Amino acid sequence: MDHKTQILLDELVFLEGPRWHEGKLWFSDMHAHWVMNVDPKGNAQKVVEVPGQPSGLGWLPDGRLLIVSMTDRRLLRWDGKNLVEVADLSHLASFHCNDMVVDVHGNAYVGNFGSDWVGRTPSPANIIMVKPDGAARIVADKMEFPNGSVITPDGHKFIVAETFGRRLTAFDIDQDGSLHNRCVWADVNPAMPDGICLDAENAIWIANTNGNEVIRIAEGGQVLDRIKFTQPAYACALGGNDKKTLFIVTAKSSVPEIAKSKPTGRIEFVRVTAPGV
């Protein structure tokens, strides 16, 4: 399709973890250390500062916000007034934590880099599940940079982007939240998937860090749609009143020094036909 995107918000540093929640798009301005939200008219609000660099976002069943704090490898909780630690993941995470998805029971699935991979050979990473009470354990290992993830509406399947693996990987979810029956949901090579979102037709939008684009992928790997940008895309989310607005976060660079020197982070959006779930 011929898509023409619009800019909702710009002059931000570097954005990750977009999530549509209660009429607003929530996101982490990672290198600026703020969790923020913005309404459909572009009115932005700083919510809470996270010194350890915020990334993945999600909500507990009671409405409290969970935030991944990257560099100190913690999961935090924000109740509107206080920011508290849910779990210290430093003994479990292979390296800095990044994206996250939270299920309807409040179980948080957190990925990590695996290693300080810049200029080096990447190391295997793991996925950690954190229960609402803070109990944490590894539920998947030997991942190639697990990044954005989704859970299907029935709660039975977990799908994660393996950025360096250039694939989407699926697991079945047990009643206790464990992951098993690992399989390739889609090979997306040569794309390198970062943030992802699922739509009602069981297709997944991926932000391709190996190109200035997002790609809509069917199970098995068929490319259904593609949207190009003038700068790299890092994550996406479906939202709006009918869930048919695709929000995409883009920036010229993810390198902190470059991103901070001249902020180019922005939120772009476009209307699509299949709603989010």
pLDDT digits (tens, 9 = 90+) for 26-81: 999 999 999 999 999 999 999 999 999 999 999 999 999 999 999 999 999 999 99
Tell me, rounded to whole angstroms, the distance of Cα 26 from its chain centroid.
11
Mean pLDDT, rounded, for 71-97: 95
Strand, helix or coil at 182?
strand
Give residue 118's pLDDT band: very low, low, confident or very high (50, 70, 90): low
**pLDDT of 169 above 80:** yes
Mean pLDDT, rounded, for 207-227: 96
Q: How far apart are CA 148 and CA 6, in angstroms?
A: 23
Tokens of 206: 């991926």
Pick from 90-99, 119-128, 241-250: least confident? 119-128
Q: Are strands 265-271 and 245-250 parallel, antiparallel or unpaired?
A: antiparallel
**pLDDT of 116 above 90:** no
- Residue 175 has a pLDDT of 93
Give residue 114's pLDDT band: very low, low, confident or very high (50, 70, 90): confident
**pLDDT of 117 above 60:** no
Residue type, 163: T
Query: Percent of the chain scored above 90 by pLDDT?
Result: 87
**pLDDT of 107 above 70:** yes
> Whose CA is closest to 233, among 255, 250, 253?
250
- Residue 121 has a pLDDT of 58
- Residue 131 has a pLDDT of 97
Tokens of 105: 């029971």
Tokens of 217: 């992928």
- Residue 232 has a pLDDT of 95
> Whose CA is closest to 231, among 258, 205, 204?
258
- Residue 123 has a pLDDT of 72
- Residue 268 has a pLDDT of 97
Taking CA atoms, 107 is separated from 57, 139, 175, 187, 272, in Å, by 12, 12, 11, 27, 30
Which residues share a beta bridge with 15?
A: 29
Which residues share a beta bridge with 77?
A: 66, 84
**pLDDT of 239 above 70:** yes
Pick from 105-119, 134-148, 164-178, 259-273: least confident? 105-119
Q: Which domains does the chain have, with CATH numbers?
A: 6-271 (2.120.10.30)
